[in-house]
A = this chain, B = another copy of it.
Amino acid sequence: MSIYLDHSATTPLDSKVLEKMQPYLTSDFGNASSSHSFGQEAMKGVDWAREQLANLFGCQFKELIFTSGATESNNIVIQGIVKAFCANNQEKKYHIITSKIEHPAIIEVCQELEKQGLIETTFVGVDKEGFVSVDEIKAAIKDNTILVSIMYVNNEVGTIQPIREIGKMIEKVNKTRIKNIELSSKKAGTFDKLYFHTDAVQAANYCKMNAPYLHADLITISGHKIYGPKGVGALYIHEGTPLKSINWGGHQEYNVRPGTYNVSGIVGLGAAVELINNEQFTMHNEQIRKLRDKLIEGIKNKIDKVKINGSLGNRVPSNINIAFENAEGESMLLMLDMEGIAISTGSACASGSLEPSHVLSAMGVPPVICHASLRFTLGKGTTEQEIDKVIEVLPPIIERLRKMSPFDK
């Protein structure tokens, strides 16, 4: 029996999603940019998908672009907004605020643009439970701050960040900026609005995604984290948000994201979002939470010296990040894998890295505990039988590894 508990790395494709994709993998193979009926059939699929995403975000069709995934969406946000501002004012150095627990597709892009001398970045920290502070973000805002980018749900510890509160705070900042401009009787053109982006890749299965509710200008999502296909993502862009293209070569997606439409992928993303639109907050999430809590209880009852990383209070129901003192992460992963159980020691993007998790480190978790931590992420297909099996298999593995550890006495 194979047990997959790494749903934050990727999810299986839902069979209903594959069913919706199937025509676009066979008969409806047209290029959606072609004028003839093969093209029109393909574009119908793209439009249908766009409708599902417009429902999810509560937005207009034209406020959405499809991309090749979250990494591209996040790069378009950071690079695109910096390019747009720099195009208007090449002299000025702009400022971006993000957090220490973001995905590398945010952190590394900011670091790269810093290196190029284009921006300065503030990376706000998190408390020991894994939460950013709205006040700390507010305090970091300067006159030249053009973007705040905070992830909705952390991929390693599952903590849900106060996105709506940040969005509302930023709206107030913008009102003050407008007021100050009016008072100083500068031209309206001198007003640099502050924009708000959230990488919602890990949130879409569990949290409210309505853009006006969140007061977000930019939202990233990915197909393969929500039981959709890999190689496709999207970006919500509130009307009027300045973004320059980072690639060129075709008129697709309002010139922001050129390239032939990945029709089956886009339809798959749409179908995955349709499932969310219909099922969210209802069927699966309570079941996932029950099984997650059962797994935590089972582990705590059978294994001593374990510690949950991050808050359990405000975390998606699928995530457990837990440290097994004096047991080494990669070894636990391998031994569980030999029992057919797939989990991870952190994010897939950082797998193989010897560095301690940047997320746990930001939470003040000591390196030795980072390296003893595992991430279990449940999915809607996870069964009670699977959880029972993990609870049965895990204790002897931990015991064996602890015996091998020079630190365990």
Chain A residues near B (Cβ < 8 Å): 2, 4, 6, 9-13, 18, 21, 25-26, 29-31, 33-39, 68-72, 74-75, 79, 103-106, 108-109, 111-112, 222, 224, 229-232, 246-252, 258-265, 330, 333-334, 336-337, 340, 342-345, 348-353
A146 to chain B, nearest CB (A): 19
In the bound complex, what is the Cα–Cα distance between A14 and B11 (angstroms)? 26
- In the complex, chain B residues whose CB is within 8 Å of the CB of A79: 247
The answer to whether residues A265 and B231 also contact, given A71-B258, A105-B248, A249-B108 and a CB cut-off of 8 A, is yes
The answer to whether residues A251 and B349 also contact, given A10-B29, A232-B231, A260-B224 and a CB cut-off of 8 A, is yes
- In the complex, chain B residues whose CB is within 8 Å of the CB of A333: 35-36
Residue of B nearest to A76 (CB): B247
- In the complex, chain B residues whose CB is within 8 Å of the CB of A259: 68-72, 105
- In the complex, chain B residues whose CB is within 8 Å of the CB of A39: 9, 342, 348, 351
Q: Does the CB pair A348–B37 fall under 8 Å?
A: no
The answer to whether residues A33 and B348 also contact, given A18-B26, A109-B248, A248-B108 and a CB cut-off of 8 A, is yes
> Which residue of B13, B247, B250 contacts A349 across the interface (Cβ within 8 Å)?
B250
Q: Does the CB pair B343–A6 fall under 8 Å?
A: no
Q: Does the CB pair A109–B33 fall under 8 Å?
A: no
Q: Does the CB pair A343–B12 fall under 8 Å?
A: no
- In the complex, chain B residues whose CB is within 8 Å of the CB of A330: 35
Residue of B nearest to A10 (CB): B31
The answer to whether residues A4 and B38 also contact, given A103-B249, A106-B249 and a CB cut-off of 8 A, is yes
Q: Does the CB pair A37–B75 fall under 8 Å?
A: no
Some 12 contacts from A to B, beta carbons below 8 A apart, are A33-B351, A35-B352, A36-B344, A71-B250, A75-B249, A104-B248, A104-B249, A229-B262, A231-B231, A231-B265, A252-B349, A262-B265
Q: Does the CB pair A6–B249 fall under 8 Å?
A: no
Most buried by B among A111, A259, A261: A259
- In the complex, chain B residues whose CB is within 8 Å of the CB of A74: 249
- In the complex, chain B residues whose CB is within 8 Å of the CB of A262: 68-69, 229-232, 265
Task: Identify 15 new A-B residue pairs, CB closer than 8 A, beyond the known A9-B34, A104-B250.
Answer: A35-B345, A36-B333, A36-B343, A37-B340, A75-B249, A105-B250, A105-B259, A111-B248, A230-B265, A231-B262, A231-B264, A246-B246, A250-B349, A262-B265, A265-B265
The answer to whether residues A261 and B6 also contact, given A18-B26, A75-B247 and a CB cut-off of 8 A, is no
Q: Does the CB pair A337–B248 fall under 8 Å?
A: no
In the bound complex, what is the Cα–Cα distance between A79 and B28 (angstroms)? 34
